[in-house]
Structures are given as structure tokens and as C-alpha cells.
Amino acid sequence: MRLAVSSLLTLSLSACSSLGYYAQLLDGQMAVLRARAPIDALISDVDTDPALRARLETVKAAVSFAEETLALPNHGSYQQYADLGRPYVLWNVFATPEFDLAPIEWCYPLAGCFSYRGHYDLEDARAEAQHQRELGHDVYIGAVPAYSTLGWFKDPVLNTMLRWNDQELVGTLFHELAHQRVFVKSDTAFNESFASFVQEEGLRRWLKARGETPLDVTEPRRRNQDFVALVQATRERLQALYQSSQTPTAMRAAKRQVFEQMRESYQALRDGPWRGYAGYDQWFEQDLDNAALLPVGLYNTWTPAFGQLFAQARGKWPQFYDTVERLGESSADERKRMLDALLEQAQGD
């Protein structure tokens, strides 16, 4: 999961109950910044591990390509490297009411509202999750290997990002830099779909420019589409259940049955069309609830719609970004209406 996180920049210390949360955000971000080392120096250092040097050289080339070819901003991000000594940079807590699919939102001045709350320490995230459970909410914790501060800080490349192959690493850099180019308050689906389009199209152009053959993503993409469709179907069944007049006890039992049906459908996919592919097993083995469904599909709801906008801009990045910015300035309802129309056009082509 790659989410833009800017709440650190919106410290509002008037609410004493928020002091602890803002303090951990500040401490966590400062720890990331203190761990930075210049990529050029690491590449030149004879003691740098050759494998790390090769990855950093790829990062350097990708950042230059992003600025020169994709017209993405260069505010000094990804010119440094930070090894945090842990597998993820932070953990996001998602929560919903027990009988509602709408996320609990946390709002901050300037940055707007988010359907998750980030913690740099896993134990802090677990404590937040327990607090939400005590309030009667469904809860999910998602691990985050990368995020953007939207240009407020010079974001480094993190060791947590090197888990990916070069193509995914380069695509992620384009994704995070896209957040620095356009970001709309309180509209996660818009922001992530836009950045995901820039990631996909940018990576396609990067590979073409280097004469590289992209990895065959046909099967992984089809599996992801099947997975998202399964989650969406589950959402629809749950929505119908929550709008019924059943008692809480009956609704709770029916809810468990819906999630069990989802697991059975997944097993049919895994053992049938997916030919034994078990990459989603870990997700299905956890305690599933409303909150676990929140991040699924978050990144690509309107990605084809942005592809349509890009085609209308004749593949010119500055014109495309200008159009996206104007779209982002419209009201939420108008923005959704226009994106839905673009999505319908894209699906009809």
C-alpha cells in the first residue's frame, strides 16, 4: 500500500487528546529524515554493497526521467536513501462501524480528511486498533512501505521500497512524485487513481525509452481484477444486509456468513482459474471485517478515467496535469460525475 501522508504537516495542538498522536508523527518523520544519506555519495562509496548501488543508480535515472519526460516536479525528493531497519515505514489503521461500510475518517487542517490513521510504530497502531474495537468498530491494520509528504520534505528512497523489483520501484517513484504534482484534499480515491495512472503510463514510457520488455502482468492483473470483483460483490451483499431490518444479533450472524462465503469463493478462484496461485492466502487468513475491505480497489477506481483524460490531452503531460488540477478544483459531486463519465467512455473504447 502506498498512501500520501501529510497529516504531520498540519499539527493542531489545541486538542490535548491529539498531542500524543501528533508527537509520534513528528518523531517518526524526523527519524526518517535523520536516516537520510545522499544517493550520489553512496554510489561513489566503495564500501556500498554492489546490489544497493545498482538499485540506487536505477532510482537516480528514474527521478531524472520523471522530471525530464513526465514533467513531474523535482523538489529534491528521492535523491537520498534511508535505511530504517524495519520492513515497513508505518502502519495505517482503518476503521468502520460494525454495520456500516463507510470509513471512520480523521480530519486535519489543510490536508483534509483521510480514511486511515498512520502510525510509525506497530505497537502504537495496535493500540489505536484496540481503542477502535472498544468503540465497537471493525478494524484493519495495513502495512505501508512508501508514502509521500507531498513535497513538504525531501522524501528519501527507503529500504522498505527495495522489496520490489526495478519495475515496481520505478513505478512507485513516479506514483509518489505524481502526488507532489496534484493532490486534492479529502479525496483519496481521486488522488490514488491519478497517481496510479501516472505510475502505469510513466513506467510504460520508461521501459520503451530503455528498450526493456515489461514483465508480463496479464495474469497478475487478471487475478487482481478477480479479487477486487470478489470484494465488491461482498460489499454489495453487506450493504443490503446492513439496510435490512434484522436485529443486531441476526445481522451479526449473517455478516459472518457473508465473509465465509467470500472465503469459499476465493478458494474456488485459487483452486480453479488461478491454478493454485496462493498469493492472497495471507489476506484471507486474517479476521475479515468491514474495515479490511476499505483499502481494496482504493488505487484504481478511476485509473482508466485518467487514461481517457490523458488521451484527450494528446499525451502531453503538462496539459494533462492542468486538466486534472481543474477537475480537482470542482465540487466532489461534480468531480465524481465527470470521472464516471470518463470511465464509461474508457470502457466503451
Q: Based on the number of CB atoms within 10 Å of its own CB, is 323 exposed (0-12), middle (13-18) or buried (19 or more)? A: middle
pLDDT 10s digits, 157-179: 999 999 999 999 999 999 999 99
| Mean pLDDT, rounded, of the chain | 91
Residue 110: its pLDDT value, please? 65
Please write down the HEC assignment for all residues of the chain. Answer: CEEECCHHHHCCCCCHHHHHHHHHHHHHHHHHHHCEEEHHHHHHCCCCCHHHHHHHHHHHHHHHHHHHCCCCCCCCCCCEEECCCCCCCEEEEEEECCCCCCCCCEEECCCEEECCEEECCHHHHHHHHHHHHHCCCEEEEEEECEEECCCCCCCCEEHHHHHCCHHHHHHHHHHHHHHHHCCCCCCHHHHHHHHHHHHHHHHHHHHHHHCCCCCCCHHHHHHHHHHHHHHHHHHHHHHHHHCCCCCHHHHHHHHHHHHHHHHHHHHHHHHCCCCCCCCCHHHHHCCCCHHHHCCCCCCCCCHHHHHHHHHHCCCCHHHHHHHHHHHHHCCHHHHHHHHHHHHHHHHHC
pLDDT 10s digits, 64-110: 999 999 999 999 999 999 999 999 999 999 999 999 999 999 887 66
* Band of residue 186 on the pLDDT scale cut at 50, 70, 90: confident
Cβ–Cβ < 8 Å for 138, 289: yes
pTM metric for this prediction: 0.86
* Band of residue 9 on the pLDDT scale cut at 50, 70, 90: very low
Quick check: 349 pLDDT over 80?
A: no
* Band of residue 213 on the pLDDT scale cut at 50, 70, 90: confident
Cβ–Cβ < 8 Å for 119, 128: yes
* Band of residue 22 on the pLDDT scale cut at 50, 70, 90: confident
Please list, in sequence order, all residues whose beta carbon lies within 8 angstroms of the beta carbon of residue 8, skipping any fewer than 6 positions away. Answer: 22, 25, 26, 28, 29, 149
Distances (CA, A) of 133 to 94, 162, 257: 11, 33, 21
pLDDT 10s digits, 296-345: 877 778 999 999 999 999 999 999 999 999 999 999 999 999 999 999 99
Cβ–Cβ < 8 Å for 30, 173: no
